[in-house]
Structure 1
Amino acid sequence: MIPARGFFCLFWLCFLVISGPALSLAGLPGLQTETEFSLDNGLRVYFLPYPGSSLVTIVLAVKVGTADETPESSGLLHLLEHCLLFRQSHLTSDNRLFRTISQYGLYYNARTEQDLMFFEISLPADHLESGLGLLKEVVFPFNISQESLEQEKAVLLKELADYSRQPEKVGLARVYELAFPESGYALPVFGKSEVISRASLADLKDLHQKFFRPDNAALAVVGDIEPERLRSNLKTIFSDLKSGGGRSVRPSTALKFPDSAPQVELKMKVSDTYIMAGLLAPEYDSPDRPSMDMLSELAGAGLSPLVYQAFAGQPDLIYSAHLHYFSHEQAGLIFISVTTREDRVPTVRRLLQNFLPRLAEMNYSRDDYLPDQQSLAFDFLQGGKNRFQWLSEKMTESPSVLALSLARHLLLKNDREQKNYLETINRLDSSGLRKIARKYLSRARPVWVVIKPEKK
């Protein structure tokens, strides 16, 4: 249940989560030494002190998402998220929840993704313990009535109707469906209306009992906090929760794209035509992820995204082009979105397909040129490294993004020794980027989704 506040903005910033137990965030402006530990019941905790901030952000993440759903249950988790957030009787009695929100002036939201579900509160630092207590009461009990369930179904079905009118979200969901047909990643994060309509209390309770345990969750706190005092208070608040068997482990499945290059065409009430493509990419904890982060940054972001080179010499062919990289526990996705006119679809698709192998041959750094040519060459790689450093510092201005990223990392990282992310980025070279492009893009057959305007 998260509003449309810049569709890709949060995902774009979240890739900057620093890989490793020591996140090395303390060297960034305003941040102090961070603390990571686990409670006896298995709840993973991360404190990131940020002196001077008037607000503190708390994120509690649970390891459950659409990867754990089937076509018959698609949408139950999204519905459960809504009900936990807004419909529990111990929160709604005497308007307690909304009186609390008004009293503390807190920001209160949740979101369901492919791998995880997040619950987030931001409030004045003086009321931190109250916020922790509220978040515990939101996530771990299950006190939902049949009447409340039916009321929230109506809200969520309206939300799904709104999603169905947004071409970016519809197209991205269909790309996932084509890309991962044998996986829960193929299912839309917002769910299916027919499943939500027939959902029962028993369905939701079963999911809650299975996944919503402290040893399957992580808590991140970012703000002006005193770690030692907060650690003691946190134990008092959460220690009565019982563990239930450890972190959820999904079956390890080798995901691969279809052998063919399927294309789906849709008609929507839009003025432009959207061409969207998806390609297999590294999973969250893959050693290839930093290189793919950089490659997608150069190809899809910054002042001069390389994806526009696909249409060089034809300035009026497209209206816009974007390239994003989404990483999940068991797979990743390169997502390309282009807007154009309907009659230009075959040309745009052909040029995009021809462009992808060229990424394995490009010179990304001045070091790829002879000394007397270097002054004339544009150093894409150094520009990308500079932008990563700027974005990492920019993240310190958004405690919400930091807390979401930290909670994500606690639940998706593996136990092997990890490296400092920004140091890894700074060691990347042009040859390494070409190898990654060759591995994932050169011989790839994208899946395609085309959204055309409805005929009037």
Structure 2
Amino acid sequence: MNKTNLLFGAVFVGLLGFNNVSYAQNEIKFKEFTLDNGLAVIMHQDKTTPIASVSVFYHVGSKNENPERTGFAHFFEHLLFEGSENIGRGEYMKKIQSIGGTLNAFTSNDQTYYYEVVPSNYLETALYMESERMLHAKIDSVGVETQREVVKEEKRQRMDNQPYGSILVEVLKRAYHVHPYQWAPIGSLDHLNVASLSEFMDFYNTFYVPDNAVLTIAGDIDYNQTEEWVRKYFGEIPKGTNEIARPSVVEPKRNKEIRDVVYDNIQLPAVVQAYNMPRKDNPDSYALDMLSTYLAGGKSSLLTKEVVDKQQKAVQVMAMPLDLEDGGLFLFLGVANMGVDVDSLELSIDEQIEKLKKNGITDQDFAKLKAQVENSVVSRNASVAGIAQSLAEAKVYFGDASEVNRELEKYNKVTKADIQRVAQEYLDENGRVVLHYLPKSVQSKEGNQQ
């Protein structure tokens, strides 16, 4: 349900109720226009609270990188906070925070997203700041060296020193053999270290251009005034002149299981499974999303009840469909309970999936599942920041921002039979990647025995 690439993030939410009801989605009204330079602009008015969200969605992620220069998109997520020709180094965050605003950014395989949430009387300031990022970003040797160290520290904290932190990297390089999804957004530090300043400049001039972006403003705004400011600050930015690389290669569907062992700084072994998934815009993505919630979305989910609580084979089981633009992965992570063999845990997970394939889902569980979906959609669009992101992603991935108003309708079209069907079709052992995460202490013992 959450369409961002945060591995095993907070995807699952509590139940609203147990009645099998098809809910109507509140319409998100908006206005949109396109500047002469190609920048798509979407505005949503909500005067409930005196705040406004400004976001820029750049259609560039790790899949757009040169295989010899991976990590550029994620690196730029950091680099473009360095400042601009008119904003001093390190002043970008301070300026937004000084007016009572918050800001952040994230990078995925498919996109880079920047946003600020500010008091609405500072909307013009936020628009100016984002226009500076697009037009006059400070890209020099000082900033590059500074952010290289930042990215190195992030990798140490989130991957090297984080239990199971390498899962995405280890899965992707085995699951994709021809498509550039084969490397994670963090990329290679070696590539970043040897890259020249001119290469960074070229990446910026290619992808961080108005005709590769969507600007979304949501909240306590006046449509006419907002459009006037947008034209003032973004209208002068020239179109990009470089060709924007979009991968055209199609990853062949795997038809053989790939198995491997990863030794990590962990105490408890784990099982990771990754199955083929279709493109993000495939209608089955909604059923697969619901399937992940049914299997491992919270305390009442199938795998939690059966494998964690009843069998006590695992301390936690998680599932997440990584619904990437060109075809993603359906991921499982099961962390074994103390003393439980990793093969035994894998067998228990597989048994529950096979039962679902054979027997389907009960009426009661399906009613609970639909309630979870309703709550998730409503919660995601309960803030102006959430609405801004939903509008931008609908515009880019579906070609129409109004798709945001059809999301719940698409979930409501999913039937019990669809849940069973997608489990049978996509959770195919013949095409999956299976990784056993084992403590490095086990590797040492195995080495001594040889």
* Class of the TM-score when normalised by the shorter of the 2 chains: 0.7 to 0.9
Q: 1:336 aligned to 2:337?
A: no
Q: How many residues align?
A: 424
Q: What's the offset of the Cα at 1:282?
A: 2.4
Q: What's the offset of the Cα at 1:400?
A: 2.8
Letter in 1 for 2:107: T
- Separation in 1 of the partners of 2:68 and 2:172? 17
Letter in 1 for 2:112: M
Q: Counterpart of 1:374?
A: none
Moved more, 250-259 or 325-334: 250-259
Report % sequence identity.
Answer: 21
Equivalent of residue 450 in structure 1, options 418, 429, 436 = 436
Superposed counterparts of 1:16-415, under 5 Å? 26-27=26-27, 33-86=29-82, 88=84, 90-92=86-88, 96-163=91-158, 164-244=160-240, 248=244, 250-308=246-304, 311=307, 315-340=311-336, 341=338, 344-366=341-363, 379-414=364-399
Secondary structure, aligned partner of 2:341: helix
Deviations 1:390-443 (A, max 9, x none): 222222433333322322222221469968221122222112222222221145
Does the C-alpha gap of structure 1 residues 442 and 235 become closer, same or farther in structure 2, counting only changes over 3 Å?
same
Q: What's the offset of the Cα at 1:362?
A: 2.9
For the Cα contact (< 8 Å) 1:160–1:193, is it kept in 2?
Answer: no
- Separation in 1 of the partners of 2:242 and 2:31? 22
For the Cα contact (< 8 Å) 1:273–1:342, is it kept in 2?
Answer: no
Letter in 1 for 2:367: Q
Q: What's the offset of the Cα at 1:319?
A: 0.9
Deviations 1:277-311 (A, max 9, x none): 11111221112112212222211214421234663
Q: What's the offset of the Cα at 1:78?
A: 1.9
Equivalent of residue 426 in structure 1, options 378, 388, 412 = 412
Does the C-alpha gap of structure 1 residues 267 and 450 become closer, same or farther in structure 2, counting only changes over 3 Å?
same
For the Cα contact (< 8 Å) 1:256–1:280, is it kept in 2?
Answer: no
- TM-score of the superposed pair, with normalisation by structure 2: 0.86
Letter in 1 for 2:170: R
Letter in 1 for 2:268: D
- Separation in 1 of the partners of 2:240 and 2:47? 36
- Separation in 1 of the partners of 2:432 and 2:183? 18
- Separation in 2 of the partners of 1:361 and 1:116? 38
- Separation in 1 of the partners of 2:400 and 2:103? 32
Q: Counterpart of 1:437?
A: 423
Letter in 2 for 1:162: Q
- Separation in 2 of the partners of 1:71 and 1:247? 17
Q: What's the offset of the Cα at 1:326?
A: 1.6
For the Cα contact (< 8 Å) 2:8–2:318, is it kept in 1?
Answer: no
- TM-score of the superposed pair, with normalisation by structure 1: 0.84
For the Cα contact (< 8 Å) 2:257–2:429, is it kept in 1?
Answer: no
- Separation in 2 of the partners of 1:312 and 1:124? 45
Secondary structure, aligned partner of 1:167: coil
Letter in 2 for 1:347: S
Does the C-alpha gap of structure 1 residues 333 and 99 become closer, same or farther in structure 2, counting only changes over 3 Å?
closer
- Separation in 1 of the partners of 2:226 and 2:412? 35
Moved more, 212-221 or 401-410: 401-410
Secondary structure, aligned partner of 2:125: helix
Q: What's the offset of the Cα at 1:60?
A: 0.3
Does the C-alpha gap of structure 1 residues 81 and 11 become closer, same or farther in structure 2, counting only changes over 3 Å?
farther
Deviations 1:182-233 (A, max 9, x none): 2211112112121122222111111111111111111122211222321222
Q: What's the offset of the Cα at 1:248?
A: 4.4
Letter in 2 for 1:130: T
Q: What's the offset of the Cα at 1:170?
A: 1.0
